[in-house]
Amino acid sequence: MANITVATRGICNPAWNGSYYPEDLPADWKLVYFANDFSACLLTTRDLHELAVGGEDFFSDLPEGFRIFLEPGAQPLPPLTASFFDRVTGFVVFANQSSDDSLPSLVRDTGKPYCLFVDQQDTSFFIRADEQAVALQPCHASPLKPALHCALIGREEAMDLRQLKGRLAQWLQNDNEEHMLLIDGGMDIEAIRNVTVLIQLLT
């Protein structure tokens, strides 16, 4: 049976302050707080700048197994330590970002062959960058084993659990595959919990 990981696109949603995060929770504690409820997240550049306000150790108390993905943006990343990148699984790159000239150097600067996933027709690719060139290759050639397929769903699809159940059931039929279901981080936290519970029931 395939494995499905749920991740939110962004964790610093202002609407979650007070409704999910305690109002007195320091910004640099949000990632650890979130990781106690969920198994993965996609951090945007804005997230990283907010989390890093209190220092570089905002990730030091994360539970083992929690997976971090990064979404490159136009804004430069804040200063991040090598130990932070050791916790990062890969970069998620959306179709409109895949031609960004800064991506090859970003991959090289991490010192690892991170995977970049493209949300195009439910297919994923990884990007391997060296000093000369960048190449998009099919996800089955990815250094991540098993290959990780990434798909983004918005509010409407996440709220329609009956339709989503059918899509997830198809994914689960494929052995030795791993899927990451990215949910818009602007949604209500309870809607995200409902998707997580649905996957638990299916597996």
Q: What's the pLDDT tens digit per position in 106-127?
A: 666 665 545 555 554 444 444 4
> In which band, very low, low, confident or very high, does the pLDDT at 37 lie, cut at 50, 70 and 90?
very high
Mean of pLDDT values over 17-29:
93
Calpha distance 148→201 (Å, rounded): 21
Name which of 10-19, 108-117, 127-136, 185-194 the model is least confident about.
127-136
Asked if 15 and 186 touch (Cβ cutoff 8 Å), the reply is yes
Q: Give the CATH number of domain 3-202.
A: 3.20.20
- What was the pLDDT predicted at 4? 85
Structure tokens at 178: 């791993």
146: cis peptide before it, omega within 30°?
yes
Q: Who wins on pLDDT, 181 or 56?
A: 181
First vs last C-alpha separation in the chain? 8
The pLDDT, as a whole number, for residue 25 is: 94
Distance (Å, whole) CA 127 – CA 101: 13
CA distances from 92 to 33, 113, 148, 198, 202 (A): 22, 13, 11, 24, 26
Per-residue pLDDT band for 133 (boundaries 50, 70, 90) equals very low
Cβ neighbours around 99 below 10 Å, total: 8
pTM score of the predicted model: 0.80
- Per-residue pLDDT of 65-108, as tens digits, reads 999 988 877 678 888 888 888 888 877 776 666 555 666 566 66
Q: Provide the residue type at 99 as one letter.
A: S
